[in-house]
Structure 1
């Protein structure tokens, strides 16, 4: 029994000793593990601190870059603002110079490449067909046209043309009209204005002047309002400006003519049954040296809708013919004229009407007499005298007539390109001759020749007062960008360059055309009745 206890104690001591040894080993391992953990922790901490310092340095550098970028943006904005101010000043000075010299203003619009530009109309090589679809004319900036002139076997040459304004192929009808609108204010200030679209067939003249067309009718839906051209927009703007004036102080008459095969046709004339059809008219030079079309139909309009209705009637009679260049090519020059009659009391044309209490009563009398009479007799002519109307006024009364001419010229054509034959070929001949006559007139004025050949064409005779007279004239040069039309494009740009060189003297305001004292007798147009 004793021996068994001794053996158990011995075993217990051995186990305790073994446990102590294991505990000692475990303790050593724990210490080593702790030291290793502390070492790794320090290493990670150093790495974290280094990373934090690096991030702080990067944040500081980023902040400095941001400050520098902000300063650069501020400087760029200041430079841009100064540039724009200087640019506007330069444009204003340039416009003042043009105003003083009486030059013709020329704007150039480059249309986009269109699907029909790929069609050439004749069998040509694949290389030429590919070249035809390439662009040759670009808007380098808003005042410069760049043309890449390239011919087979010759090095490409770049030519530039400067104009008062250049529109690239992405600029909208809104952008074009924004530069036209100030001229309409001048119209009500007493200046004659003429806006003329020039260019080859298919270059976008009619689109620029009228907007989209469908079967001879202008399209004026709200969805397409942004596509409206200069003519409908100008009319809307004129009536908007008139609406801001005292009632009865203005009224508007419209005439629509086309010059076709060197003959003038009145597109608002009516037959005995009231049906509109084109009647041939003639243009004459009055004793005062002004051009006039006797018996031309003038319709009084009271708003833009009435005007557009009349223009649509005229457009339905306008001659068009399909060619290889343009499916609805205009074969005549269209001239739409708005004549604005201003009733002025006293000697204060151009001053504030609202500041003259006495004029308010006379304005009311005029609104009851002149416009109403004109409304009762819608259609008048330059040679027709209506029954006299009695008007009693206690002050002198004046009339000022200003004229807005909106001209959509027929396009110049290369017969080989358009592929026309027969009657269309004859039309092309007349079109090109009339446009050549227009260029001759501009050349004669620019060279200050003693004789200007206005009568070489009915077109130039009709536009004599606008081209060579005292009207503010804007030529909207329309060009096609394709290599295919390079020859026609260069011809159009050359025409625009010559037009810019014309100096006609300072444009003048229209003076009063009649004075009426008390108890004078007037006809329906406000002139003295004979």
Structure 2
């Protein structure tokens, strides 16, 4: 059976294939045209870049040529200047050579003139030179005599000064009336209405008298006068107040204990008088000199007095204590981490009758700034509580003690001479030895005081077989005398009603008032010369026993408020000062070095 072929289908299929190939070719043509256009664009970019680079290279070359021209011009100018400087230097050198030759010639002429003058003086003024030497020797002898006389006058001045302080009284009472402050304007029922409560009723009418005007409803006006050693008005500065205290510090190095305490109600200016203004750089312990209180000024004056006695050896130690709720706290004590913490201490009485605080922390100090730095770090530990009178009222008594140990040069010289005598006796052999304790030995006819102190090893009687008597002591020690300066900022003496406190805070007020009453009782017992003085009734009086009793010197600074609002507290403070003035203490006895022969 023959195969039937449809030619139309074959042709149609071929046409379809050709059309497909044609479409592929057209698409390929489009792609090539696109690539050609992209290549043309890239070619144009490269041509532009080459053109720009060529232009930039041309500009850079022009710039370099311009700089080269400028540099060449500058170099020519510098070369010209160097040539000019060389010319000037050659001229200067020529002047220098001529001047040097002239100076050398003049120096030779001067040397010849000096030789001629010296020979002339040796020939004609020899006697005048001898006379001048004799006058210089006479002036040196006169200067030494004046120095000896000055030392004697200093000793007399010291004795007269101590006598003057003794005549003024071992207990001195000063009063300071502060100015009117902002909290004085608070009206109370006792002050009446209006501005009468802010008017000052306490005035310093003279250097030693204070006047108090008592105003009571329905009663005539009463005027009370109080006489004290010194009265400071509101206009007196810190420097004027310290000037009256300064004279007492001289006796401190002479061997007398000294206590300066500020007494008064809260807000009367005790802390300002003792420490100074706390608002001025209190953190660093540095205050303006005009605002410094008694404590920083007394520390500075103490070290100034020590510097004037270089022949003596002085050591100053600081201790800071707080009497709070009738307990003594050591504010310089530190915990295991080295932080300052107040630790409770006891007060005991030694066999000699002096008060002592066992385990108390002492910090050696070398100047007043160290003292203020230490105080600024521990004052934040002091107990404080806001009251109706003051926002930062201190609820404890602050006691700053400076202990001064002094070694006299006379005692040291005596000890050294005795030690030298002992060495001399050791090196020499003596056939007969005599001891001051030996009653059976015959003393030699001539012996100096130093030869009497001999060590047992240098004597024939040092062994039991040869010595019929005990051996003398073999060494000498000089015990320095210790004096104490106690600076006390007492807590407020106001009554409970003035504080406005309640609850547990009343116990603080009670302890403060009882300690101040104990202080008043001690002064009363001293004034009446009772056989028993109740120092141990309070930790405060027990702690201050060495400086308020015996032959020590005490200065009480009464701080009073001027307005009628606090007149009751001010009268109580003035009455306390009047009672303290009546104390007649025993005659002062200076502490001296003790020579212990061991």
Alpha carbons of structure 1 residues 206 and 216: separation in structure 2 relative to 1, 3 Å: farther
How far apart, in 1, do the equivalents of 2:554 and 2:367 lie? 24
Say whether residues 1:307 and 2:387 are aligned partners. no
Say whether residues 1:515 and 2:595 are aligned partners. yes
Considering fraction of residues, name the structure with more helix.
Answer: 2
| Residue in structure 1 matching 2:234, options 140, 164, 169 | 169
**C-alpha displacement at 1:343, in angstroms?**
1.4
Question: Secondary structure of 1:515's match?
Answer: strand
Question: Secondary structure of 1:132's match?
Answer: helix
Q: Do the aligned residues in 1 keep the contact of 2:411 with 2:595 (CA within 8 Å)?
A: no
**C-alpha displacement at 1:204, in angstroms?**
0.4
How far apart, in 2, do the equivalents of 1:445 and 1:126 lie? 37
**C-alpha displacement at 1:516, in angstroms?**
5.3
Alpha carbons of structure 1 residues 329 and 228: separation in structure 2 relative to 1, 3 Å: same
Alpha carbons of structure 1 residues 446 and 126: separation in structure 2 relative to 1, 3 Å: closer
After superposing on structure 2, the runs of 4+ consecutive aligned residues of structure 1 that deviate more than 4 Å are 92-98, 218-222, 393-396
The answer for the alignment partner of 1:405 in structure 2 is 486
Question: Secondary structure of 2:329's match?
Answer: strand
| Residue in structure 2 matching 1:99, options 166, 173, 181 | 166
How far apart, in 2, do the equivalents of 1:244 and 1:105 lie? 27
Question: Secondary structure of 1:294's match?
Answer: coil
How far apart, in 1, do the equivalents of 2:190 and 2:494 lie? 23
Say whether residues 1:135 and 2:215 are aligned partners. no
**C-alpha displacement at 1:401, in angstroms?**
0.8
Q: Do the aligned residues in 2 keep the contact of 1:345 with 1:396 (CA within 8 Å)?
A: no
The answer for the alignment partner of 1:447 in structure 2 is 528
Say whether residues 1:274 and 2:338 are aligned partners. yes
Say whether residues 1:229 and 2:296 are aligned partners. no
The answer for the alignment partner of 1:146 in structure 2 is 211
Say whether residues 1:238 and 2:319 are aligned partners. no
**C-alpha displacement at 1:97, in angstroms?**
7.0
| Residue in structure 1 matching 2:259, options 188, 194, 216 | 194
Q: Do the aligned residues in 1 keep the contact of 2:202 with 2:212 (CA within 8 Å)?
A: yes
| Residue in structure 2 matching 1:254, options 318, 325, 328 | 318
| Residue in structure 2 matching 1:335, options 399, 404, 423 | 399
The answer for the alignment partner of 2:410 in structure 1 is 346
Give 5+ residue unaligned stretches, structure 1: 1-91, 363-392, 521-530
The answer for the alignment partner of 2:510 in structure 1 is 429
The answer for the alignment partner of 2:182 in structure 1 is 115
Q: Do the aligned residues in 1 keep the contact of 2:203 with 2:562 (CA within 8 Å)?
A: yes
| Residue in structure 1 matching 2:243, options 153, 178, 181 | 178
Q: Do the aligned residues in 1 keep the contact of 2:191 with 2:564 (CA within 8 Å)?
A: no
How far apart, in 2, do the equivalents of 1:347 and 1:94 lie? 23
TM-score by length of 1: 0.68
Paired residues in the alignment total 386
How far apart, in 2, do the equivalents of 1:396 and 1:288 lie? 20
How far apart, in 1, do the equivalents of 2:585 and 2:283 lie? 35
Alpha carbons of structure 1 residues 414 and 511: separation in structure 2 relative to 1, 3 Å: same
Q: Do the aligned residues in 1 keep the contact of 2:285 with 2:369 (CA within 8 Å)?
A: no
Question: Secondary structure of 2:344's match?
Answer: strand
Say whether residues 1:475 and 2:580 are aligned partners. no
Q: Do the aligned residues in 1 keep the contact of 2:285 with 2:375 (CA within 8 Å)?
A: no
The answer for the alignment partner of 2:149 in structure 1 is none
How far apart, in 2, do the equivalents of 1:189 and 1:94 lie? 10
Which deviations, in whole Å up to 9, do the C-alpha atoms of 1:159-202 show, x marking residues without a partner?
10001100001100000011111111111111111101101111
How far apart, in 1, do the equivalents of 2:547 and 2:318 lie? 17
**C-alpha displacement at 1:424, in angstroms?**
2.5
How far apart, in 1, do the equivalents of 2:165 and 2:404 lie? 25
Q: Do the aligned residues in 1 keep the contact of 2:261 with 2:556 (CA within 8 Å)?
A: yes
Which protein, 1 or 2, shows the higher relative CO under an 8 Å CA cutoff with sep ≥ 6?
1
**C-alpha displacement at 1:142, in angstroms?**
0.5
Alpha carbons of structure 1 residues 96 and 161: separation in structure 2 relative to 1, 3 Å: farther
Give 5+ residue unaligned stretches, structure 2: 1-158, 421-473
Which deviations, in whole Å up to 9, do the C-alpha atoms of 1:403-450 show, x marking residues without a partner?
111000001122222211223222111111110111111111111122
**C-alpha displacement at 1:132, in angstroms?**
1.9
